[in-house]
Amino acid sequence: MTTSWDCFDTLVTRVRLNPLTVFDWMGGKYGLPNFTHRRKAAESRSPETLFSIYEELAKDYQWTEEQKAFYKKVEIQAEIEQCVSIEENLRQVKDGDLIVSDMYLPREVIEAILRKNGLNKAVSIYVSTGGKSSGTIWKHLPSIDLHIGDNLHSDVNSPSAFGIDAKHYTNFELNTLEQLVGGELGLLMRVVRLANPYEPDTILHRMWLEQSQLNVPALILASASLPSDNLAFIHRDCVHLQRIHEQLHGCQNVAFHCSRIAMEEKGDAWNDYVINTAKGRTIVDLQGTGGSVGRYWAEVFYERPEIIYVTGMMAVGKALVTISTDVIERFNSSPLGSLGRFPERFENEFDKDVLECQKLAVDKAIRYMPYFSLKQENLGLLARLVFLMYHSHTPVWNNHQSNHAINKVERDWPAARALDDTIAIGMAFK
């Protein structure tokens, strides 16, 4: 069976969804007055190829040949860099399939975009100006059993009129939760969601989805509400929060390997470690009461520590979201075992596949965070996302140690707490 695929918004998509943002970026970076408007106008006057478009732009801006060549190269490089994969489609492409695109970019640029995003199949790429839209391209192509694309007219109605089965792809668009979250954060959630490398209808596919829709935005919102420096992130639970925070604020803080057992056992080696690592810094953790840290600081240092937890019912310090559940910890599994008597560790209880899924999803978010403005504080939205975590599927599947002791692994998250997405989102955003 031979399948033909549309390219943009089917196999790859722009990182910020709107293709005009590439032009916005160019205009801002290179100080080109009103570039997006003038670039669109040049395309309307001469839409055939990128070469013809830049001929028009050169007349408009009165560029030299060198300037024209330079800015055309910049646009090509920006398109290659700012296109990201839609994994659920890209991994279905087979040897012998066709890529069919109505586009002004040259075929070799489209191939470079696809190869950069992981396409390694032997495919034929056909590029035209309006060939799909007008329907003229289909008779010039090899036999096709199915065409898949995002444009209802060009990718569904047009091939269907020529007798080719067609499938309309719409998953590239912002979903319900991404629209409700909105703004820059919603756009980043979309990019991470579309990068899901796991097969549909599997546990890991669902866990990646919940990372993109719940954990990644929650960690970003929490980071936006934390100070930028002089922090000690309690590990192992803050393994991903610290990474997100450092990307958001562009500064490094310390990892404070800590547990209730270590603070209760104390000892000279532990006390020295705390003094050299965390004392004098604001202690940050995902969830808790701050009680263990507060008691230790009072007994050993005779002072009250500065503590900020993302979620908790605080005895000491403050929480960004007041809630008793440890659900956020189940989204942030670390490859390290829980700390016992310092420096000993218990065996790690998490499945390797879970660890990899969570890490890779956060890796993807960190990769694309620089394209978005994400420093806005919104604790109300953070609370909604934590609510959705409570009713999600990840905690049902992911083990978690209670009280940092290996003999108290919790597998008791009731499946009844997991709700249908539509119901849960409706409750969170009512």
Those residues with Cβ within 8 angstroms of residue 393's Cβ, 6 or more apart along the chain or in another chain: 203, 206, 207, 210, 418
Rounded to whole angstroms, the Cα distance separating 270 from 306 reads 19
Rounded to whole angstroms, the Cα distance separating 120 from 196 reads 18
Tens-place pLDDT, residues 224-255: 999 999 999 999 999 999 999 999 999 999 99
Q: Supply 49's token pair.
A: 């190829």
CB distance 72 to 56 below 8 Å: no
Any idea how long the chain is?
A: 430
Rounded to whole angstroms, the Cα distance separating 141 from 218 reads 47
Rounded to whole angstroms, the Cα distance separating 50 from 39 reads 11
Radius of gyration of the chain (CA): 26
Rounded to whole angstroms, the Cα distance separating 336 from 218 reads 22
Neighbours of 373 (CB within 10 A): 10
Q: What is the pTM of this model?
A: 0.94
Per-residue pLDDT of the chain (430 residues; tens, 9 = 90+): 899 999 999 999 999 999 999 999 999 999 999 999 999 999 999 877 999 999 999 999 999 999 999 999 999 999 999 999 999 999 999 999 999 999 999 999 999 999 999 999 999 999 998 999 999 999 999 999 999 999 999 999 999 999 999 999 999 999 999 999 999 999 999 999 999 999 999 999 999 999 999 999 999 999 999 999 999 999 999 999 999 999 999 999 999 999 999 999 999 999 999 999 999 999 999 999 999 999 999 999 999 999 999 999 999 999 999 999 999 999 999 999 989 999 999 988 899 999 999 999 999 999 999 999 999 999 999 999 999 999 999 999 987 765 555 555 566 788 899 999 999 999 999 8
Nearest to 104, CA basis, from 29, 43, 15: 43
Rounded to whole angstroms, the Cα distance separating 218 from 213 reads 9
Q: Which residues make beta-bridge pairs with 124?
A: 98
Using alpha carbons, list the distances in angstroms from residue 39 to 17, 59, 72, 207, 274. Answer: 18, 12, 11, 41, 57
Rounded to whole angstroms, the Cα distance separating 294 from 289 reads 9
Rounded to whole angstroms, the Cα distance separating 137 from 141 reads 7
Rounded to whole angstroms, the Cα distance separating 412 from 208 reads 22
